[in-house]
Structure 1
Amino acid sequence: MTLNDPLISVIVPVYNAENSIVRCVESVLAQGEPRVELILIDDGSTDSSPVMLESWRAHPQVRIISQRNGGVSSARNAGIAASRGAYLRFVDADDFLPADALSRCLSLMNDNVGLIVGESQHFTPQGEPVARSFPAEAQRVLSASDAVNDLLYFHPRHGICDKLFRGELVRSHQLRFNEQIANFEDLLFVMQYLSLLGTQQVICINSVIYHYVESENSATRSSVREKHFSFARSFSEMQRVLGRSNDKFFYFLLLKVSSAYLYKAIVSGEFNSAFINDHIRRYRQAFKSYLSSGVIINGWSLYFMLFFCSPRLISQMRKLAQSAGRGG
């Protein structure tokens, strides 16, 4: 027996998540909203995750999809294709939902609303909440264009798991995650979705609707690989759907991301000069566009200018400053 006419589809990609998947699944099934369809996509796990998923196969709210390992975007796309809910939520297998996270979002949805954006509470790998500050406003109602600037700059929210999407809008426009991009593909999906909203509004709330568990391996977060530079393609695709009113904030974020990854690549000594030079060229083009769009007066803009002049020198100086700080 399966759930008929689900109101909301929760899509969870699963890859080697044996240590967290029970907490994740139980947090979804414990939601107050009964018309929840939970889609679990096993993305070629090599641990005990597939066996663990089988224990939920008979549950009326659970659907299980198994596929060869194709990456998180491939798994999410499989979930979208299988979804039937009027609304979509994405949850990562390492994370979990707070109580009533779904009903809290659904209560705000009406014909004039296309997206709900909430807050995420971070947790350490040991389960301790990480102190965070949240916006003072209880709720902000934005146009789709203003929401772009809000998510890019004013209240940065680059992921998908703290949002409630309209399922039919995603499916009817065949909106999918780009499986060739390994970095900022989430933000690309969000920006493409916002471009489809038309006159529908975006509601931002300060309620916590997602529990994000930080990675235990901090080295993974700090190291950089060539695949991370696929962010350049994400931003190139984003630019196609954004308007001129978004340019300043778009280029600000692009420069912030570009300089961060270039810094890591330069000081690592693991990238060839041609690769770094190509991304320095891209950075400088973006900086010129940023100047044309109208500069945001803050410390970052000064850093962007210095990095434009000499990326390698600034990177080495930054490395020395960080080393001196740790030594102190």
Structure 2
Amino acid sequence: MSTSQPLISIMMPVYNGIDTLALATNSLLKQTYPNWKCVIVNDGSSDGTKAFLDNLTDPRFVIVHFEKNLGRPIARQAALDAAQGEYLAFLDADDFYHPEKLAEQVQILEQYTDVDLVSCGNACYNAAFNLETVRGCGNGIAKVYEYGHRLNCALRTSLVRLDLARKVPFNTKLKHAQDTDFMQRYLVGRKYISMPSVRYYYSEFVSVTGKKILKTYYYSLIHHSSLLKYAFWPNFKAMLVTVGKASFTAVVLPFTDVNYFLKKRGRVPTTSENEDFNHVCKQLNIHGKV
């Protein structure tokens, strides 16, 4: 490991993640960027998560066990408190990274010292490990974020500067959308870059249910209503769109598959994105892709 490379801490909260942890952690071991530590907070899991984590031998994994389930925002804050180094990344325990993710993102933040967050595209896959959609891809041009306006990126795909992140604690009262809340407070008046390439793989078509979609709309309404005083028209329009989507979903959902709604969140993957995904799956020895 080259100590001249900046240290990246990776935040991973997990609750009952025994079925997916091996994939998530293996994608870190396959990173071309070696100088990282992953703070995994076991949020009181009742399956085999604790035993799996205690058997990780790579010293770059830092394990924190909660005796009982305290909720994702508290687990996130514990990971933030334990983080070290110059940069902070995020990985959900049921997702995985492209091998070049950390290397490419840290290179951008090292080169552009006035940029404080870099995100990448994320591709969503199904239970058979086939890509369904892609979203969050940008044009690689730095933008300044104005509080209350829409961001075409997600915290899970991002790399941020740790010294700045420490100044923005997670809102532990938010049961949902605490990542969006954190990201928007972190970025106020700061520059960010959205990479055009997919470097994060999201298990959306495995983990998201119709009930979760409706809950997302509910918390989106609460979130945008809280931002009305900062940017009225963008958030008012977002609320109207959310109400329309929620109403349509509630009526149609009983008569169709949840994938119908998930596919509307992104675009169809390109041939090169599919080929890249299949290559990564082979590197990670994912069943059906070897």
Q: Which of the pair has the greater relative contact order for Cα pairs under 8 Å at 6+ separation?
A: 2
Residues 91 and 156 of structure 2 are in contact (CA less than 8 Å); yes or no, is this contact kept in structure 1? Answer: yes
Aligned to 1:306: none
Q: Tell me, what secondary structure is at the counterpart of 2:116?
A: strand
- Work out which of the two has the higher radius of gyration on C-alpha atoms and give 1 or 2: 1
Residues 121 and 136 of structure 2 are in contact (CA less than 8 Å); yes or no, is this contact kept in structure 1? Answer: yes
Residues 228 and 236 of structure 2 are in contact (CA less than 8 Å); yes or no, is this contact kept in structure 1? Answer: no
State the shift of 1:134 in Å.
7.2
State the shift of 1:322 in Å.
8.8
CA-based RMSD of the aligned residues comes to 3.1
Task: Provide TM-score, normalisation by structure 1.
Answer: 0.67
Taking the aligned partners of 2:115 and 2:252, their CA distance within structure 1 comes to 49
* Unaligned stretches of 5+ residues in structure 2: 257-290
Aligned to 2:278: none
Q: Tell me, what secondary structure is at the counterpart of 2:155?
A: coil
Residues 13 and 40 of structure 1 are in contact (CA less than 8 Å); yes or no, is this contact kept in structure 2? Answer: yes
From the two aligned structures, give the one with the greater helix fraction: 1
Residues 126 and 203 of structure 2 are in contact (CA less than 8 Å); yes or no, is this contact kept in structure 1? Answer: yes
Taking the aligned partners of 1:179 and 1:10, their CA distance within structure 2 comes to 19
Aligned to 1:183: 176
State the shift of 1:59 in Å.
2.0
Aligned to 1:300: none
State the shift of 1:236 in Å.
4.6
Q: Tell me, what secondary structure is at the counterpart of 1:252?
A: helix
Aligned to 2:119: 117
Residues 185 and 231 of structure 1 are in contact (CA less than 8 Å); yes or no, is this contact kept in structure 2? Answer: no
State the shift of 1:41 in Å.
0.6
Taking the aligned partners of 1:320 and 1:38, their CA distance within structure 2 comes to 41
Query: Residues 163 and 259 (structure 1 numbering): CA distance in 2 closer, same or farther, change over 3 Å?
Result: same
Aligned to 1:250: 235
Taking the aligned partners of 2:228 and 2:181, their CA distance within structure 1 comes to 9
Taking the aligned partners of 2:209 and 2:202, their CA distance within structure 1 comes to 18
Aligned to 2:89: 89
Aligned to 1:170: 165
* Unaligned stretches of 5+ residues in structure 1: 268-318
Residues 125 and 206 of structure 2 are in contact (CA less than 8 Å); yes or no, is this contact kept in structure 1? Answer: no
Residues 162 and 210 of structure 1 are in contact (CA less than 8 Å); yes or no, is this contact kept in structure 2? Answer: yes
Aligned to 1:142: 143
State the shift of 1:85 in Å.
2.4
Residues 124 and 205 of structure 2 are in contact (CA less than 8 Å); yes or no, is this contact kept in structure 1? Answer: no
Q: Tell me, what secondary structure is at the counterpart of 1:161?
A: helix
State the shift of 1:166 in Å.
1.1
Q: Tell me, what secondary structure is at the counterpart of 1:140?
A: coil
Task: Provide TM-score, normalisation by structure 2.
Answer: 0.75
Q: Tell me, what secondary structure is at the counterpart of 2:132?
A: coil
Taking the aligned partners of 2:181 and 2:41, their CA distance within structure 1 comes to 22
Aligned to 1:128: 130
Q: Tell me, what secondary structure is at the counterpart of 2:13?
A: strand
Residues 40 and 64 of structure 1 are in contact (CA less than 8 Å); yes or no, is this contact kept in structure 2? Answer: yes
Aligned to 1:160: 155
Q: Tell me, what secondary structure is at the counterpart of 2:64?
A: strand
Q: Tell me, what secondary structure is at the counterpart of 2:108?
A: coil
State the shift of 1:235 in Å.
3.2
Taking the aligned partners of 2:207 and 2:23, their CA distance within structure 1 comes to 20
Aligned to 1:291: none
Query: Residues 230 and 148 (structure 1 numbering): CA distance in 2 closer, same or farther, change over 3 Å?
Result: closer
Query: Residues 5 and 222 (structure 1 numbering): CA distance in 2 closer, same or farther, change over 3 Å?
Result: closer
Aligned to 1:38: 38
Match of 2:92, as an amino acid?
A: D
Match of 1:18, as an amino acid?
A: I
State the shift of 1:23 in Å.
0.6
- Over the matched positions of the two proteins, sequence identity in percent amounts to 23
CA deviations 1:87-137 (Å, max 9, x no partner) are 1111110100011100111111132111112100111122111243775x7
CA deviations 1:162-215 (Å, max 9, x no partner) are 1111111011x2x122222233322211111111xx4x4211211112110124
1:211 to 187, 192, 201: 201
Match of 2:187, as an amino acid?
A: L
Query: Residues 113 and 218 (structure 1 numbering): CA distance in 2 closer, same or farther, change over 3 Å?
Result: closer
Taking the aligned partners of 2:117 and 2:54, their CA distance within structure 1 comes to 33
Residues 121 and 135 of structure 2 are in contact (CA less than 8 Å); yes or no, is this contact kept in structure 1? Answer: no
Residues 181 and 234 of structure 1 are in contact (CA less than 8 Å); yes or no, is this contact kept in structure 2? Answer: no
Taking the aligned partners of 2:219 and 2:144, their CA distance within structure 1 comes to 29
Taking the aligned partners of 2:4 and 2:52, their CA distance within structure 1 comes to 24
1:63 equivalenced with 2:52 (yes/no): no
Aligned to 2:187: 194
